[in-house]
Amino acid sequence: MKGKNLGEFEEIVLLVIGILYPQAYGVAIRAEIEERAKRKVGLGALHATLVRLEEKGYVSSQFGEATQKRGGKRKRYFQVTASGQSALVNTRELRNTLWGSIPKNAFNLVEGLNFDLI
């Protein structure tokens, strides 16, 4: 069913939320992605994805305490829900199966290189 599958960026966001647990909020997530994936991420793209993930039920969130920083605005912390976790696992399994089905001589892979599936 459409909407159950994870998009590539959604997957990255979910994983990064996991990495940052329990301190995953907007700016931190972005910084982490930018550093690890070496790509520019706009707040717009990130928040739009977070909204979508929350609608799908893959993440849940709650507000933190208000502080002097951030113009007095509260942070919103995200965490991956159980269904989010199973979606990640599904995606990973699918990939592993696909990688496993590629005949040896199809790709010119250099022996010994380790291709992490994220």
Closer to other proteins by Cβ: residue 26 or 92? 26
Q: What are phi and psi of 99, to 5 degrees?
A: -60, -40
Instruction: Give the shortest CB-30-to-other proteins separation in angstroms.
Output: 8
Residue 62 binds other proteins (CB under 8 A): no
Question: Binding to other proteins by residue 102, rule CB under 8 A?
Answer: no
Residue 104 sits in the site that holds other proteins (CB under 8 A): no
Q: Site for other proteins (CB under 8 A): which residue of 51, 94, 102, 118?
A: 51
Please classify residue 44 by burial: count the beta carbons closer than 10 Å to its beta carbon, then call 0-12 exposed, 13-18 middle and 19+ buried: exposed
Distance CA 118, CA 99 (A): 13
Closest approach of Cβ 108 to other proteins, in Å? Answer: 37
CA separation for the pair 117, 88 (Å, rounded): 12
Q: Which residue has the tokens 């919103």?
A: 76
Note the residues at the interface with other proteins (CB under 8 A).
25-27, 30, 42-45, 47-48, 51-52, 55, 63, 68-76
